[in-house]
Amino acid sequence: MTESSEMAGKLAVVTGGAKGLGYAIAQLLITRGARVCIIDIDAEGLSRAVASLGGAGKAEGVAADIRRRDDAHAAFAKATAKLGHVDVLINNAGVYPRKPILEIDDEAWDYTFDVNLRSMFHMTVAAANHMKPRRAGSIVSIASIDAYIPYAKNAHYAAAKAGVISLTKSFAQELAPDGIVVNAVSPGPIDTPNLRALGIYEDLAKSTPLGRVAAPEDIAEVVYFLASGRNRYMTGETVIAGGGIIMI
């Protein structure tokens, strides 16, 4: 089986796909034969991404804020209408806030959990309801190595990503009888403009056993495996792709 044939004709939704890791995932899925609908809150960035990915026939876009149930379900319905149906959901939408733990107020806490965890929950419920009648589907969510080890100023982010891992297990257990596999990926640091803007890129690269920060494409390949037909027997798992920072 060739790489392209594994995803040929598959229809995928990628949240937060207008840039960074989400864009790399969407691009790889399209390269391997899938048609993709990106859901992103950044309407302008979304339009640029869809055009860059090849436009209609390869990529579609839905501009939406998916932090609340009704909005998330409406966005998934719009994506489904554009694609016809959905075989794969990639929960990538997220934010990476940094604030000392004693300075995290309710607003910062709620925003971090809304984007990184609540949206994942709502989108996965929407996808599960859609996939169950077909008795097939794959859902992959992006967690983080921060869920396993403490980093200064990342407590609320780490807690939300630990929730992603926990929900992944719960969804996997309940949806297994319906033929739906649910997994997650915990990346280490990824080379994105946002990471470089934090001024910690060089330190992260030096502290990684492999000696570099991941390219978005490195993580996209792991996501692709879990989402594709190559994954025939993994569900409820979180794959750590951290360059050796965590070894379990």
pLDDT digits (tens, 9 = 90+) for 156-211: 999 999 999 999 999 999 999 999 999 999 999 999 877 787 777 888 899 999 99
Domain harbouring 107, CATH code? 3.40.50.720
On whether residue 203 sits in a domain, the answer given is no
On whether residue 209 sits in a domain, the answer given is no
CA neighbor of 88 nearest in space, from 164, 25, 43: 25
Report whether 126 contacts 73 (CB < 8 A).
Answer: yes
On whether residue 244 sits in a domain, the answer given is no
pLDDT at 72: 98
**b or e along 153-175 (b: 16 or more beta carbons within 10 Å of the residue's beta carbon)?**
ebbbbbbbbbbbbebbbebbeeb
On whether residue 166 sits in a domain, the answer given is yes
CA dihedral 132, 92, 101, 68 (to 10 degrees): -50
pLDDT at 126: 98
Q: Would you name the residues annotated as active-site residues?
A: 157
Range of the domain at 44: 11-186+219-238
Total tally of structural domains belonging to the chain: 1
CA atoms within 13 A on the CB side of 162: 11
Residues 14 and 89: their CA atoms lie apart, in Å, by 6
pLDDT at 2: 45
CB-based contacts of 193, cutoff 8 Å, min separation 6? 19, 20
On whether residue 2 sits in a domain, the answer given is no
pLDDT at 200: 78
Q: pLDDT truncated to tens, each residue of the chain (248 aa)?
A: 444 468 899 999 999 999 999 999 999 999 999 999 999 999 999 999 999 999 888 999 999 999 999 999 999 999 999 999 999 999 999 999 999 999 999 999 999 999 999 999 999 999 999 999 999 999 999 999 999 998 889 999 999 999 999 999 999 999 999 999 999 999 999 998 777 877 778 888 999 999 999 999 999 999 999 999 999 999 999 999 999 999 98
On whether residue 89 sits in a domain, the answer given is yes
Total-model pTM: 0.96
